[in-house]
Structure 1
Amino acid sequence: ENRIVGIITVDDALDVIEEEATEDIEKMAAIRPSDKPYLEQSVFRIWLNRVPWLLVLMVSATFTGLIINSYEAKLAAISTVLFACVPMLMDTGGNAGSQSSVTVIRALAIGDLVPKDVFKVLWKELRVSVMLGATLAAACFCKLQLIDRLLFRFEGYDVITSLVVSLALFITIVLAKFVGAILPLFAKKIKLDPAVVASPFITTIVDALSLIIYCSISIAILG
């Protein structure tokens, strides 16, 4: 009827933007969103918002433990130093996957990406992951040879072992980037919130993949 029925002030718009951004951040951290400020929430409410996903992720991490148990004896028989590199591989892979995941989730949220862009995303992430993987693998090799072997004189870090660790790191980063990019797109395709589905599981999936890759390469080359 060409009549003004109300107005939305800048302050109201900024409040909505802030609330939505806060909600997305909480979802990516595996926390159920709350409509109250942190200091106004009860301890029980904070516990209730955080515990469900932590329980799910704790159970899912059981698979990582099963993988370690299945390869432990074989790796110990090859070299005792191999297990010392597991935390580095898992953490680096998880961080690499999280970078891709956060980038894709944000792009989906603001409309820069849609699920049908999956092949464009994967092609770009493939090139990025190869460059990052090569850079970090080279840095890892230099670190094992120059710092661990020569400076600290840790035994067991020969050239072949360092190459095995670096190769496993390279492959882990490439796969982690793929998982981090495709999981949010898949969640969006099946009508689920990418921030809720993708982010909590990225680290668990990449941890399992990195262990399988590392153990398989170690046994194949050093075994």
Structure 2
Amino acid sequence: MPSDESESEREEKEDRRDRREKREEKRRDKDDDRERGGAAAGAMRHLTGALSASVRDGRGARDGPYDRPGTNGANGAATARGAPEMGADGKGRGRMAILPPPKKTMDRSRTCPFLLRIFRKIGGHHGIEAFAERGKEPVECELQVYAWPDVTLRELADLIKDVAPEARDPKVRLAFNLIYPDKSGKNVSTTLGTVTCSKRGQDDDKALSSSKFQTGDLLDLAILQ
């Protein structure tokens, strides 16, 4: 009868089996790693896509810290000044109005007022000949107030009512003319506006600085019943 396997042959078979099992185990580990890597890559791609979509939505819903006029911020409402406005159908709706620059506000607490000479007359204005010569103005009807260049006609009317009783009647209208020298040095007159004591009007908020007024010019005031 044939003899049993020798001890060395059995050890060699076990050794080959162990190596085979280790190779199988390594292969399974590689397959698992590959599957996990693919899943992770897919999740990362999904996350990246979601973040990109969120960023795109965010740009349309909220202005960024560096948005400027002419870029699509706040739901795309901001467009370039003067650029065609687009409707939902993609068709233009004409051109947007160009807004004027904001007004600069004078700080009166840091600006020195100037002396403003006002010459009043009941029933009408003085003739321009009354201001033909400097120093010979009708001083008997002169009012002197301190004001700023941005003083409005309504503010002047309120000051005048404090010192001129005839201007306090609710029916009275105060008509202001500006007296100033032209290029030749001759005084001329131009209309500034009219204020009604009892109610506001379109000239109330007119400021001296919005006219040709310069410090040293005069105002001619007609108190109209």
| Interval of TM-score (by shorter of Structure 1 and Structure 2) | under 0.3
The structure richer in strand per residue is: 2
Q: Which has the higher contact order (CA 8 A, sep 6+)?
A: 1
The structure richer in helix per residue is: 1
TM-score normalised over the length of structure 1: 0.23
Tell me which structure has the larger Cα radius of gyration: 2
